[in-house]
Chains A and B, each alone.
Chain A
Amino acid sequence: MPDGGNVAYYYDGSFDGMLCCVFESYAAKEIPDEILPPEALQATFLPAKAIVTDKMKAERVRKSIPEKMGAQAYDFIRHAFLTNIDGKEYRLLLFIRLGFKHGPKVMRMISEDAVYTLLKAVRHLNNESHLLKGFIRFSAFHGALVAEIEPKNIVLPLLAKHFRERFPGERFIIFDRTNDMALIYEPYRHRIIPASGVELPEPDEAEQKIRELWKLFYNTIEVEGRYNPKCRMSHMPKHYWKYMTEFETPGKPSPCRAGTLKNPSGLSLPAASEDNSEDNF
């Protein structure tokens, strides 16, 4: 393995950009000490090298990954890129280098820290998206379903397929407030687009009635003789509660604040925006 070059790479934050960092690492026979997304550039004291995203270079790396280490590893890398662990790009670089050296076996080399850390991060991502499949709450506004989440990882690409299959005939939007993105679906296509600051309207009477019925059910289904709040907390950590209907304070709908989105069903898919959607997720 080449020496650390006492250099930091910075790149545009895209998946292709990350692949170009890998390309550069091989071309320059060096392993940078850090790989930084644009917003973190000021944070480094190392000399920084700007890695320009070049579709051709990215494509070469992208093609060689499944060839050399298998489709499963490529899938894993795509997922790892959606996680929120510190220095994920640097760890991915080490992982990919290991993969080029050892082949598909890299997926099982958990005694390597780079592999193990990414494995844990991807498990966390999968776990978070699995929990959200249950914990997400939609509200009906003018016939469209709208939800908000504050995930730790980028989960929308992992949720798309599930909710498409659940509500094929509906229109729905899930706002990711952490990453300022939204998953928008109308029959039969979806997009993931940048979205920030969109506020949801107050629920109408019909919507409020269903919410009250749900809260009634939630509070009634508990068996008092088995009260165990600690157990509830460990299955459903508190940070998920924020947007869950059952924890709304009575009379004051918390998931939705008065706002500007008057008619979400009128939101349509932007024609030419960047398509982050990945059907293979």
Chain B
Amino acid sequence: MFCGKIIPVGGRFVDIFDKLKILTDAAKFDVACTSSGVDKSASPGGIGNAAACGICHSFAADGRCISLLKVLMTNVCVFDCKYCVNRRSNDTRRAMFTPRELAELTIQFYRRNYIEGLFLSSGVIKNPDYTCEQMTEALRILREDYGFSGYIHAKAIPGADPALISRLGFLADRMSVNIELPSQNSLELLAPDKSKHSILKPMGYIKNRISENSADLVRYRHAPRFAPAGQSTQMIIGATPETDFHILNLSENLYKKYGLKRVFFSAYIPVAENTLLPARDTKPPLLREHRLYQADWLLRFYGFSAGELLDEQHQNFDPVMDPKCNWALNHLELFPMEINRASYEELLRVPGIGVRSAKRIVRARRDGSLDFTVLKRLGVVLKRAQYFIVCGGRAAQGLRISHDSVLRSLLSERELNLYNFNRYPESEPEQLSLFGNSLNAQEELQKCLTGEM
């Protein structure tokens, strides 16, 4: 049994510091960091609230938001997924939290405002059911014994009994099942214990519970809530040969079929020497990950479909240009757009106009027609947008709109961006980012709040 207060590992005893180190180290490759999607305040006598917009409590030295205490229940695992640090065959130190010490740690961190809540995942110890029970007990202590209303994201363990997953879902705000690898083929090769089916089954189950629950909530206002912040998933980018086109289509389908709230992408960082995987010194494809997040944003908030951004002939995103600019340059016949007349949906397609500025434009132009000065004050990024818009029939001063002039103006940014990417450990061709500067990357990648593009 691993649930004693101190467990022997590798011939020595592990204290809470060791456990925290081991179980954080093992959890950190999961990228989901958000605490968003649900609004609530503490119940009487309890502790904890949640803000729908999400709150970042710190940023790690890698620039990623820290919102939740992200740890594993245990990094012991009976499975042997080749891309994973916790795989059975890996020679690494193992540890396990007891449900109570994990709950206590969460509360102590929460009281000091270090975190917004808990993100609990786990390796599979003994079997999926046992693992799920341990996680459920930690969450039960938090919710029932401490009256904790803060944010909890729990990973469903594929293969666990639906009744156990259901129990977990009533305690958590968000649930996720990771797709991990973007195709059945890659799964078979690298995760011999998993299959597309074993992953999609709990995902479908969670989806059904969420929709049943919302029906219950209509009937009984006080019905317990099942994963009120919805369901998300994650896939690893760059460990296997799937193209961006494949990945984006898969994401689109997951949003549609499973009603997912988010699909996260995680640039693969080599953790094992294996001929099936990229070599150990391969740099994580961060720019590619960034482009996928930008495209994901376009699917979720900008009314784009995957097929508009990529197709059979163009299977991967241009490292030089963000997907929205790329789309616009290939559809110059739709531009320039008249700012004072274009619909909200059309405005969203203009590079340099985001969701917020499009809404502001629609509201502001009711009071009179807009000019470039006002557009700037509304938050439009004119540097980009000016090539694609006119105000009252007039273009920004001194502009000629052609594929050429746009590209030429972009080239002037080249040095700046090369400089920006100097510290970005990217491979050579990926350094030529013209539109996407690092600020952009941060906004969409790490902050996990609604971004603009």
Are A and B associated in one complex? yes
Give Cα A222 to B24, complex, Å: 10
Q: Which chain A residues border B56 with CB–CB below 8 Å? A: 131, 134, 235-236
Q: Which of the listed residues B41, B51, B55, B112 has the most CB atoms from chain A within 10 Å of its own CB?
A: B112
A60 CA to B16 CA in the complex, in Å? 62
Q: Using Cβ atoms and an 8 Å threshold, which residues of chain B touch A235? A: 56, 59, 63, 65, 442, 446-447
On chain A, the residues within 8 Å of B42 by CB distance are: 165-169
Contact between A236 and B61 (Cβ–Cβ < 8 Å)? no
When distances are taken between beta carbons in the complex, the residues of chain B under 8 Å from A111 are 373-374, 377
Quick check: B373 and A220 within 8 Å, CB to CB?
A: no
- How far is it, in angstroms, between the C-alpha of A168 and the C-alpha of B61 when the chains are bound? 33
Q: Does A137 contact B (CB under 8 A)?
A: yes
Interface string of B138-149 (1 = CB under 8 A from A): 000000000000
Q: When the two chains form the complex, which single residue of B59, B116, B441 contacts A236, counting CB atoms closer than 8 Å? A: B59
Q: What is the CA–CA distance of A39 and B431 in the complex, to the nearest angstrom? A: 53
Q: Cβ of A246 < 8 Å from any Cβ of B? A: yes
Listed residue (A109, A111, A221, A246) with the most chain B CB atoms within 10 angstroms of its CB = A221
Q: How far is the CA of A234 from the CA of B59 in the complex (A)?
A: 10
- Chain B 33-44 interface 0/1 with A at a Cβ cutoff of 8 Å (1 = within): 000000001101
Q: Nearest Cβ in chain A — how far from B427, in angstroms?
A: 13
- Known contacts being A110-B374, A217-B24, A223-B269, is A167 close to B111, with CB within 8 Å? yes
> Is B317's CB within 8 Å of the partner chain A?
no
- Nearest-neighbour CB distance to chain A for B108, whole angstroms, equals 5
B284 close to A226 (CB less than 8 A):
yes
- Assess the A218–B446 pair: CB atoms within 8 A: no
- B contact residues around A170 at 8 Å (CB): 47, 111
Least CB separation from A116: chain B residue? B377
CB of B114 within 8 A of chain A? yes
Q: Binding site of A, secondary structure by majority: helix, strand, loop or mixed?
A: helix
Whether B439 contacts A234 by the Cβ 8 Å rule is yes
Whether A258 is near chain B, meaning CB under 8 Å from some CB there, is no
Q: Which of A131, A167, A228 has the most CB of B within 10 A?
A: A228
Question: Which of A85-93, A208-216, A272-280 is the interface stretch?
Answer: A208-216
Known: A108-B367, A110-B377, A227-B61. A221 touches B66 (CB 8 A): yes
A102: nearest chain-B partner, CB-CB: B367
Residues of A within 8 A of B447 (CB): 235
| Cα-based distance from A169 to B111 in the complex (angstroms) | 11
Task: Determine whether the beta carbon of A110 is less than 8 Å from that of B63.
Answer: no
A230 at the interface (CB under 8 A from B): yes
Question: Residue-by-residue, is B1-38 near A (CB-CB < 8 Å gives 1, otherwise 0)?
Answer: 00000000000000011001100110011000000000
Q: Which of B16, B55, B109, B439 has the most CB of A within 10 A?
A: B55
Instruction: Determine if B48 and A105 form an interchain contact, defined as CB atoms under 8 angstroms apart.
Output: no
Residue of A nearest to B61 (CB): A222
Task: Name B69's closest neighbour in chain A (CB-CB).
Answer: A217
In the complex, A214→B17 CA distance in Å? 10
Q: Nearest chain A CB to B244's CB is how many angstroms away?
A: 20
Min distance, Cβ A207 to any Cβ of chain B, angstroms? 9
- Using known A-B contacts A147-B113, A165-B49, A223-B29, determine if residue A135 contacts B58 with beta carbons closer than 8 Å: yes
Select which of B25, B70, B112, B269 is within 8 A of A245 by beta carbon: B112
Point out the residues of chain B lying under 8 angstroms from A134, CB to CB.
55-58, 67, 113, 116
Q: Select which of B28, B269, B442 is within 8 A of A234 by beta carbon.
A: B442
Contact between B364 and A108 (Cβ–Cβ < 8 Å)?
Answer: yes
Give 1 or 0 for each of A109-136: 1 = CB within 8 Å of chain B CB.
1110000100000000000001101111
> Interface digits, A191-223 against B, CB 8 Å rule (1 contact, 0 not)?
000000000000000000010111011101111
Please, which residues of chain B bring their CB within 8 A of the CB of A131? 56
Is B196 located at the chain interface by the 8 A CB criterion?
no
Q: How many residues of B contact A (CB 8 A)?
A: 63
Return chain A residues, CB-CB under 8 Å to B57. 134-135
**CB within 8 Å for A231 and B438 given contacts A214-B109, A226-B63:** yes
CA distance A53 to B367 in the complex (A): 37
A140 to B108, CA, bound (A): 9
Chain B minimum-CB-distance residue to A188: B44
Of A138, A231, A244, most B-chain CB atoms within 10 Å: A231
Question: Is B58's CB under 8 angstroms from A236's CB?
Answer: yes
Shortest beta-carbon distance from B391 to chain A in Å: 13
Tell me if A218 and B113 are in contact (CB < 8 A). Answer: no
Given A228-B424, A231-B442: A245 touches B47 (CB 8 Å cut-off)? no
Whole-angstrom distance between the alpha carbons of A160 and B51 in the complex? 14
Query: In the complex the two chains form, what is the Cα distance from A170 to B107 in whole Å?
Result: 13
Asked if A252 is an interface residue, CB under 8 A from chain B, the answer is no
In the assembled complex, the Cα of A226 lies from the Cα of B283 at a distance in Å of 9
A162: which B residues are within 8 A, CB to CB?
49, 51
Nearest-neighbor residue (CB-CB) of B44 within chain A = A168
A265 to B64, CA, bound (A): 35
**Is B218 engaged at the interface, CB distance under 8 Å to the other chain?**
no
A213-B20, A221-B70 known; A140+B423 contact, CB < 8 A: no
Query: Is A232 positioned at the interface, with any CB of B under 8 Å from its CB?
Result: yes
Question: A162: shortest Cβ distance to chain B, in Å?
Answer: 7
A216 to B438, CA, bound (A): 28
Contact of A47 with B by CB under 8 A: no
User: Are the CB atoms of B55 and A169 closer together than 8 Å?
Assistant: no
B114's nearest neighbour on chain A, judged by CB, is A214
Let me know if B61 and A210 touch, CB within 8 A: no
B286 interfacial contact with A, CB 8 Å: yes
Q: Are B24 and A221 in contact (CB under 8 A)?
A: yes
Which parts of B86-136 form the interface with A (CB within 8 Å)? 105, 108-109, 111-114, 116
- Complex: chain B residue closest to A164, CB-CB: B41
In the bound complex, residues from chain B placing their C-beta under 8 Å from that of A210 are: 108-109, 112
A235–B33 Cα gap in the complex (Å)?
15
Give 9 pairs: A residue, B residue, CB < 8 Å, sorted on A.
A108-B367, A134-B55, A134-B116, A166-B42, A213-B17, A220-B21, A222-B61, A228-B424, A234-B438
Q: Nearest 7 CB-CB pairs, A to B?
A: A231-B63, A165-B41, A226-B62, A228-B63, A165-B49, A220-B24, A222-B60
| Interface contacts beyond A170-B111, A229-B63, A244-B58: sample of 4 additional A-B pairs, CB < 8 Å, sorted by A | A134-B56, A134-B113, A166-B41, A228-B62
